[in-house]
């Protein structure tokens, strides 16, 4: 590992910028979210799946079918809709009290919310208060929470001290971030939050990406917990991870940050591809088929060579050629466009990407760089 470059060229500390209200105590007048025995999302399962407060469980007052039925009735007969809806609600709440709530200690405190903090929240809050629990209702509900998330995503990235890890595909950047996190550094792993590796081959087998709103909730929950006085490590990413969009403020902050370059030998990169893309190592032609849209970009001869290596089962050569022919040139262009003129904090040569080797490399960093 090479010695870090001097950090004098780093931009001024953004922690001097005013911080928005990132604590629920400030934003909503409630306790820290981690202080509640349970956070209850009283909305329908479909609403919950699209987005919810991190840590909340879905105890719907009415399920999706019941919610639709009540809404349909309400258009022609509001009174009948409320009769049916409250009947459903009381039965559902009773079942959930028996199965989930009865085991709580008398001193436990709950946070409840629905879409606007209205009727569905109140039904749950009244039931819990009647039992004797302390209950807070999120005034304004999920709708207000969502405005808080969007405002935070716009404001918080510019208040943090970013250190961007740059390096070609397969260079071990994600593993490097994991090693930093094990050492107690502040790390934002966007690919983990997005459930995507950030390329044409980035889908995780059997794992769906979260909806955009839920991704933004998880992202803001991570951002708001960082200490502005300490650096936050992040991998260089494009504005999209799979089908998910990164907030513009985060992209801007990332593009303005100082850089730590990662250099990894090709043999080590090829082994990482075998480890992290084992599904393509087992079915290399499927990988080449996934890259069919690149044929016009890399040329017919190059793409045909990929196909031949895949059909021969020569995954080592295939992975290397795909990196050399496509991913490495793309990385160099992206680096010039996004981070070409940014201050360099260090160049790290990672000769091995196993956890023990990376932990030793992290331990060798100067404390100010590691954070």
pLDDT digits (tens, 9 = 90+) for 83-133: 998 999 999 999 999 999 999 999 999 999 999 988 999 999 999 999 999
Other C-beta atoms lying within 10 Å of the C-beta of residue 142? 27
Region at 117 (left for phi over 0; alpha for psi -120 to 50; beta for the rest)? left
**Residue 1 pLDDT > 60:** no
Q: What is the DSSP code (8-state) at residue 196?
A: B
How many whole angstroms separate alpha carbon 269 and alpha carbon 192? Answer: 20
Distances (CA, A) of 245 to 49, 196, 236, 241, 345: 18, 12, 14, 6, 28
Which residues does 264 contact at the CB level (< 8 Å), separation at least 6? 167, 168, 170, 171, 172, 272, 349, 350, 351, 353
Tokens of 263: 């250099």
**Residue 76 pLDDT > 80:** yes
In 3D space, the residue among 116, 123, 58, 118 whose CA is nearest the CA of residue 86 turns out to be 123
3-class DSSP state of 123: helix
Q: What is the DSSP code (8-state) at residue 103?
A: T
Active site residue 114: yes
Residue 9's pLDDT band (cuts 50, 70, 90): very low
What pLDDT shows up at residue 14? 56
Q: Where does the chain show beta strands of DSSP type E?
A: 38-41, 57-58, 109-113, 134-137, 161-166, 186-188, 231-235, 240-241, 244-245, 259-263, 344-349
Tokens of 73: 């009735």
Instruction: Give the CATH class of 159-370.
Output: alpha beta
**Residue 267 pLDDT > 80:** yes
CA 357 to chain centre: 26
Domain 31-137 sits in CATH at 3.40.250.10
**Residue 196 pLDDT > 60:** yes
**Residue 5 pLDDT > 60:** no
What end-to-end distance do the CA atoms of the chain give, in Å? 18
Same fold: 31-137 with 159-370:
no
> What are the sequence ranges of the domains in the chain?
31-137, 159-370
Alpha-carbon torsion, ordered 144, 26, 125, 132, to 10 deg: 170
Average pLDDT over every residue of 307-322: 97
**What average pLDDT does the chain have?**
93
Give yes or no for a contact between 1 and 68, defined as CB atoms under 8 angstroms apart. no
Residue 59's pLDDT band (cuts 50, 70, 90): very high
Residue 200's pLDDT band (cuts 50, 70, 90): confident
pTM summary value? 0.91
Average pLDDT over every residue of 180-191: 98
């Amino acid at each position: 590992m090479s010695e870090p470059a001097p950090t004098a060229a780093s931009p001024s500390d953004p922690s001097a910028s005013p911080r928005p209200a990132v604590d629920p105590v400030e934003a909503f007048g409630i306790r820290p979210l981690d202080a509640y025995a349970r956070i209850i999302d009283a909305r329908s399962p479909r609403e919950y799946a699209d987005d919810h407060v991190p840590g909340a469980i879905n105890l719907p007052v009415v399920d999706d079918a019941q919610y639709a039925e009540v809404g349909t009735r309400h258009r022609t007969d509001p009174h009948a809709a409320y009769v049916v809806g409250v009947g459903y609600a009381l039965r559902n709440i009773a079942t959930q009290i028996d199965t989930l709530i009865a085991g709580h200690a008398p001193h436990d405190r709950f946070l409840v919310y629905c879409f606007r903090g209205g009727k569905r929240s109140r039904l749950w809050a009244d039931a819990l208060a009647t039992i004797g629990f302390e209950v807070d209702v999120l005034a304004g509900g999920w709708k207000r929470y969502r405005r808080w998330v969007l405002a935070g995503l716009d404001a918080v990235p510019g208040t943090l001290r970013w250190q961007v890890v740059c390096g070609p595909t397969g260079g071990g950047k994600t593993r490097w971030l994991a090693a930093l996190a094990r050492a107690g550094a502040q790390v934002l792993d966007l690919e983990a939050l997005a459930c995507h590796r950030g390329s044409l081959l980035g889908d995780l087998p059997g794992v769906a990406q979260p909806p955009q709103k839920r991704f933004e909730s998880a992202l803001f929950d991570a951002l708001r917990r960082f200490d502005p006085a300490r650096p936050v490590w992040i991998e260089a990413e494009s504005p999209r991870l799979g089908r998910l969009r990164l907030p513009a403020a985060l992209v801007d902050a990332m593009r303005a940050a100082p850089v730590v370059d990662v250099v990894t030998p090709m043999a080590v990169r090829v082994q990482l591809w075998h480890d992290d893309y084992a599904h393509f190592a087992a079915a290399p032609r499927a990988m080449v088929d996934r890259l069919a849209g690149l044929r016009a970009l890399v040329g017919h001869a190059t793409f045909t060579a990929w196909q031949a290596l895949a059909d021969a089962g020569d995954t080592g050569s295939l992975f290397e050629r795909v990196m050399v022919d496509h991913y490495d040139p793309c990385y160099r262009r992206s680096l010039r466009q996004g981070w070409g003129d940014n201050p360099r904090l260090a160049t790290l040569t990672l000769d091995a990407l196993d956890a023990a080797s990376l932990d030793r490399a992290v331990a060798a960093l100067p404390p100010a760089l590691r954070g």
